[in-house]
Amino acid sequence: MRPAERGSVMLAALVVVAVTAAVSAALATLAQSEIVLARNRDAAAQAQSAADGCLAAVVAGLPAGWDFDQVLAGPDGTPGTTDDGFVPTPAGCSATLVPAPGPSLPPRVLADVTAVAGTGRRLVRGVVGRTSSPDPPALLWLAEAGSLGPIGGTLALDGTDPGRPSAPSVAPVAAPGDPAVVDGWLAAQGTRVSASSGTALHAPPPPVTQLSDRLIAAGAATAGTLLPSGVPPLARTWSPGDLVVGGTARGQGVLLIGGLLDITGTFEFNGVVVASGGIRVAAGAQLEVRGAVWLGPGATLVVDGDAAVRADGSAMEAADGLLPLPRRSRLAGLRDPP
């Protein structure tokens, strides 16, 4: 091969090598970029999932009520202080509540949630409202799981509403803290407790004090609404201290007891029974509530006789018509974060 030809071949080879190197470098850069993008997408997805989960936990943890004034005031309950809008959150996220713009009704609040997961960070803003109907989380709604003690008689918790067969079954018990504690209590009672509607739920405590204030302000009766027979009046009833039922008594509507509901006879009620100090059903006595039972802080539930709480949507709606019952929080929508 002549020198000129050898030079041309070498030049072509060098060009091929240079092009190959450039292509390899470009492919390596592209691969690195794809790895970075994949990591960023994974981090963003993790942060989005964490933010969504945090928002759901914040909404579920808000106390039931009629508006959001209490939670907007923060833990100290005083508006205009540094903890306004603060709410507890799971680890890895934070949340602040701020008033929603626009009219005050229906009540709404904005929840700004920031979550960090790995290298990702995400901010979401949820619009939180109240449920439209009275829907307590369970048949038996407790301020604390410690209210539950051994059942010496029988306790039936029937979450199926015979008047509304297509309605979701109501949970048997709801209380703050780990639902497994209540589920363990249910299992420990054996056949003494029958629960037709599954497992317990975590829920903030019922707003017994606020409901009591509203009931008194609405002019609740303190006597004459519980009858030994016949159809009792649909009424708002308030017992400032203990209420002892020694014979037979029937009632309907909303009944709030400032102390203990002590039953040694037979008591039937349609609607909501709120017992600040708890309930005692003596041996041989009977209690039947169609609607819901709520117990306040420090209350006790002692059942040595026979007790039953059964779902009844019509009774709950009738009680709500007498006195608007507290509503749980719900996520009404999402907005672009600030």
HEC secondary structure over 164-179: CCCCCCCEEEEECCCH
Are 103 and 204 members of one domain?
Answer: no
The answer to whether residue 332 sits within a structural domain is no
Are 193 and 287 members of one domain?
Answer: yes
In this structure, what token pair is assigned to residue 335?
A: 């907005």
Are 145 and 114 members of one domain?
Answer: no
Are 92 and 239 members of one domain?
Answer: no
Grade residue 198 by pLDDT with cuts at 50, 70 and 90: confident
CA dist 174 to 158, 185, 232, 294, Å? 14, 12, 29, 10
Q: Count other C-beta atoms under 10 Å from residue 279's C-beta.
A: 25
Are 190 and 206 members of one domain?
Answer: yes
**Among 206, 234, 240, 214, which Cα is nearest to 327's?**
206
Are 111 and 202 members of one domain?
Answer: no
Where is the domain boundary, 112, 130, 148? 130
**What gap in Å lies between CA 297 and CA 206, rounded to an integer?**
9
Tell whether the torsion through CA atoms of 10, 15, 16 and 17 is positive or negative. positive
The pTM (predicted TM-score) of the whole model is: 0.83
**What gap in Å lies between CA 8 and CA 167, rounded to an integer?**
87
Q: Which of helix, strand or coil describes residue 79?
A: coil
Are 20 and 152 members of one domain?
Answer: no
The answer to whether residue 65 sits within a structural domain is yes
**Domain span holding position 149:** 138-322
Percent of the chain whose predicted confidence (pLDDT) is above 70: 86
The answer to whether residue 39 sits within a structural domain is yes
How buried is residue 293: exposed, middle or buried, by Cβ count under 10 Å (0-12/13-18/19+)? buried
Where is the domain boundary, 107, 130, 153? 130
What are the residues facing 237 on neighbouring strands?
A: 221, 255
Look at residue 35 and tell me whether its pLDDT is greater than 60.
Answer: no
Are 93 and 122 members of one domain?
Answer: yes
Residue 106: cis peptide before it, omega within 30 degrees of 0: yes
The DSSP string of 108-145 is: -EEEEEEEEETTEEEEEEEEEEE-SS---SEEEEES-G
**Among 156, 133, 64, 140, which Cα is nearest to 314's?**
133
Q: Give the strand pairing for 243-245 and 201-202.
A: unpaired
**Among 85, 131, 88, which Cα is nearest to 107's?**
131
Look at residue 40 and tell me whether its pLDDT is greater than 50.
Answer: no
**Sequence-distant (≥ 6) Cβ neighbours of residue 150 within 8 angstroms:** 189
CA dist 175 to 60, 137, 206, Å? 12, 9, 9
- Kindly state the greatest CA–CA separation across the chain: 126
Q: Which has more pLDDT, 60 or 34? A: 60
Are 146 and 271 members of one domain?
Answer: yes
What digits encode the pLDDT tens for the residues 96-132?
A: 999 999 888 899 999 999 888 777 788 889 999 999 8
How buried is residue 52: exposed, middle or buried, by Cβ count under 10 Å (0-12/13-18/19+)? middle
Tell whether the torsion through CA atoms of 8, 10, 16 and 18 is positive or negative. negative
Average pLDDT over residues 54-76: 92
Look at residue 3 and tell me whether its pLDDT is greater than 70.
Answer: no
The answer to whether residue 330 sits within a structural domain is no
The answer to whether residue 44 sits within a structural domain is yes
**What gap in Å lies between CA 291 and CA 309, rounded to an integer?**
7
Maximum mean pLDDT: which of 1-5, 42-46, 328-332: 328-332
Average pLDDT over residues 66-72: 93
Q: Is the Cβ–Cβ distance between 89 and 58 less than 8 Å? A: yes
Q: Count other C-beta atoms under 10 Å from residue 120's C-beta.
A: 20
Are 92 and 203 members of one domain?
Answer: no
Where is the domain boundary, 100, 130, 160? 130
Are 145 and 215 members of one domain?
Answer: yes
Q: Which has more pLDDT, 38 or 256? A: 256
The answer to whether residue 168 sits within a structural domain is yes
State in Å, rounded, how far the first CA of the chain is from the last one: 75
Grade residue 37 by pLDDT with cuts at 50, 70 and 90: very low
Q: Note the pLDDT of residue 24.
A: 54
Are 111 and 162 members of one domain?
Answer: no
**What gap in Å lies between CA 151 and CA 263, rounded to an integer?**
15
- The DSSP H or E segment spanning 307 is strand 306-310
The answer to whether residue 22 sits within a structural domain is yes
Residue-level length of the chain: 338
Structural domain count, the chain: 2
Q: Note the pLDDT of residue 5.
A: 55
The answer to whether residue 338 sits within a structural domain is no
